[in-house]
Structure 1
Amino acid sequence: MRPAAVPELPPEDGLGGAGVVYELKLDGFRCVAFARGGRAPYLQSRSGRDLGADFPSIAAAVGRLPDGLVLDAELVAWRDGRFAFEELLRTPAAREADQVVLGLIAFDVLALPGGRDVRRLPLAERRRLLAQVLDGVPPPVQAVLATTDRAEALAWVGRLAGTGVEGIVCKSVASAYRARGAGQVWVKYRPGDTLDATVTALTGTPTRPRALLLRLADGSTALSSPQLTPAQARRVAEAVAGALGEPREDPEHGTLHPLRTPLRAEITIGTGRAARARFVRLRGD
């Protein structure tokens, strides 16, 4: 299951109304870990590749888990007081030389020892089973930090941002585990820093803007991403009515409609590896 991105943390009665679990979103490699008894464990990446040879200490830890246990998890690296995604791209020898700490942070259980498939059970029950099977299991395998208290989750976002925590994954406690997609029962929230920017042009049409060309404080430009919501597009269209110059072709962004008088906007820059500007609102000042 892959959560969809949302601009804000859903309320505790959101995602269908059954209740929400808020989990730390960590920046690592997604990994489904198969404990297989006498056979070598299998650490399945999103592409289906076995990560065991690249992360022998994690493979060894999964190999010590009960036969038939299957965990959905994030494989992470920790160095100098923060999560360090780039360390996952290095060789095992290089990581060991620099004393990089690896972890397998489990957030779901898909099968129990003996091979019982539990994906159809509601998340609340799978979380109980996850705590049960990991009781007494030492690092590097650990359960993800999670809460059902939205205020506590928001506090984590602010307090742990300096450690490289990306945000919060929010899940309906009633959700079963589906092999493809997650609909709106699993969503992810990535906070960003609110910044001022200048809107210099728009894409789409004057009456239905699709995205905005923004000039950032450092002089660089960025295209707002994702595209404007219908409500945002209406507000922008009203604000630029009669203020657009002749359209021009841009080699990177296609047809642009430049503003004769630039507008100020509020944006956020995401905290993930690939920073993106997201339009929040036009500023009245």
Structure 2
Amino acid sequence: MDLALTCLWLFFGALAAGNLPLLFAISESQLALAAALSAGLLIGAACSVVVPEGFESFHSAVEEAGSGLPKGTTGAALLLGFLAMLLLDHYSGGHSHSHKPHHTHTSSSDEDAEDPLAARPAGEERHLRQSLLQTQAQGRMDRGTRTLIGLLIHSLADGLAVGAAVHGGSAEISAAVALAMIMHKAPAALGLTTFLIAARWPRRRVIRGLLTFAASSPVAAVVTAAVLGLVPFLSNPMGAALCVIFSGGTFLYAACVHVLPEAKEAGPGGKLSGGQILTMVAGSLLPLCIPFYIGHGHQH
């Protein structure tokens, strides 16, 4: 599976998932299971496919070259991928990945006591109430915009990981990366669309936001692969293997820092349910099946 096909799967997978809330009602329990599955797939892809393949490719390249980089280079590449995502997350504002709409419940007596429009002339009350509704609507629109921007930043980082993995990996790695990232982006697209609908965004604007989100990772993946291809060292087998290991670090960060906490938050009492744990375990084992269906890029 080449980069173009991987990007097409990413785009249409996110687009299809994001359209579901526009067509059907999606329950919180279904979103929680989807988040658990994506966490398991990311962890499984990183631990059982991407990182081992990267290490094996690197050592094969070292043997062929007759000399290699300093000891610990592969570990440094893995750590660098994790830290790169950490720094990107921090300096981009560290947006929240909880996309469930927040509701504030107040009793009618509390509302009456706090109503700033009480005991005012009818004309003035009508004008102020209209202004208040406009302010609340603008606030919902602004929250939707901030959520979309935050998810776009994270989606661009996902694209960086995909570009780095596909640039230096085999067909097996490309398939594992595509599967893991599609399942990672699907709950995010579902949550984004649900949040924007709850924020009273017009349908056309929701669709435009979803299209932008769906396209962000593929665009970032293509740009990343193109940039890596321009660096001579990263284009040879040894450098390409380090790119794959680097992407493994980014996958581990996304799974452990973003997706897993979100899955726990969606569970009962802030803990993973039994169904979520089983789904996550199944998701983590699924990448192990990929070698049985896809030929390896090199002889083992």
Verify same fold: TM over 0.5: no
Q: TM-score range with shorter-chain normalisation?
A: under 0.3
Bigger RCO of structures 1 and 2 (CA < 8 A, at least 6 apart): 2
Larger relative strand fraction: 1
